[in-house]
Amino acid sequence: MGRARSIALGALLFVASQKFLIYRIFGGDAFVPDLPERFVNFTGWAYSTCMLLFAGVCAWWTLRGCFLLAMRIARRGKLDEPARPRTTLDVPMTRRAFLSMPAVAAGAAAWGIWEGVRVPSVHELDVQVVDLPAAFDGFRIVHLSDLHCSPAARRGRTQGIVDVVNSLAADLVCITGDFVDGSPEQRMDDMRPLASLRARHGVMGCSGNHEYYHDYAEWRPMLESLGITMLDNAHRVISRGDAKIAVGGVTDFVAQYNWRRVMEGPDVAKAFAGAPSDACRILLQHQPKKVDRNRVWDVRLQLSGHTHGGAILGFDLLVKSMNEDHVRGLYREGNLALYVNSGTGQWAGFPLRLGVPAEIAVLRLRPA
């Protein structure tokens, strides 16, 4: 590649890597820019291509170095012998593979962006719940989490999710936080389709960390106006004859440390205060943490999100380590079943999903 092409490619990659600066200059906010949806997704693709290319090149040269070192040891048996200079890739086929990396990175980024913004598929499973009354055998909960309505995922996507959920005719819809990125003035129109969500026992939700970044005190009444019962350290009882379940929710952990305004932190005891003693307890908590604490309060099923399932295979190992070994799917901790939703959306700041698709989870409750 000539010098001019190298300089041009380097300049192009540098501009693509400055996504957040571009958002700040032209959109007024580095994370929630006031820019067209297609432009936001395009810049997200360009930025992701740069990141994947950087990771790929680093992996390439690391593996190549290890391979050459191993060959040197195998052929000569000594590390102190001088090796001939290697300024280029030696095998034409290897060189072509290396030069194809930009195309591979661009393709993977395009796929990852698509996975992050498309309407998710439905994932159904049975969940055995200790102390679940027989009357609630087969009770179906649609679990959504991390919708992240944003400049990258607007009203059309929200409406698509609502259409799928309503077609499922669930008993209850639960949304475990991170509804939105932005202020009510910016995002309320994108959120409005949520008012059409339907379930036999309504829609209940809890706050996530992103609501507090944009002032949850403003968002809470807006969410309630959409027909979502926000459970801020509170509960609601659902009855079938004499049998009952208590659905409680807690605020997010960042509530008491948020820079906008300090609010009440999560309190499971307060959430279930006054709940019938014979009611099976289901907890909505955004982050899949403090499971041992929640077991003390007789929680039998906890619904969480926050992790996005790790978003990228391999990266999920790091996310898991930061969330008490929970990243996605069903876990059982003694008498408590924990379901961690992989996320129904994706944060525009980290727009990729590779090998970890978004989901609309349908949990069919069964007595354990």
Residue ranges of domains in the chain: 3-114, 121-367
Cα distances from 111 to residues 13, 44, 94, 351, 354, in angstroms, run 19, 12, 25, 11, 8
* The pair of three-digit structure tokens given for residue 182, joined into one six-digit string: 């932005």
* pLDDT tens sequence across 79-126: 555 555 554 455 555 666 667 888 999 999 999 999 999 999 999 999
Which ranges of the chain does DSSP label H, i.e. alpha helix? Answer: 3-17, 19-27, 37-76, 92-99, 101-117, 155-167, 184-191, 209-213, 216-225, 268-271, 291-296, 316-321
Q: Could you write out the three-class secondary structure of 195-211?
A: HHCCCCCCEEEECCHHH
pLDDT for residue 97: 67
pTM of structure: 0.90
Whether CATH 3.40.50.2300 fits 121-367: no
SS3 content of the chain, % helix, strand, coil (to 5): 40, 20, 35
Cα–Cα distance, 266 to 254 (Å, whole number): 9
pLDDT for residue 225: 97
* pLDDT tens sequence across 5-48: 778 878 888 888 899 999 999 999 998 898 999 999 999 999 99
Cα distances from 42 to residues 19, 107, 223, in angstroms, run 10, 13, 30
Angle at 115 between CA 206 and CA 229, to 5 degrees: 15
Cα–Cα distance, 366 to 131 (Å, whole number): 10
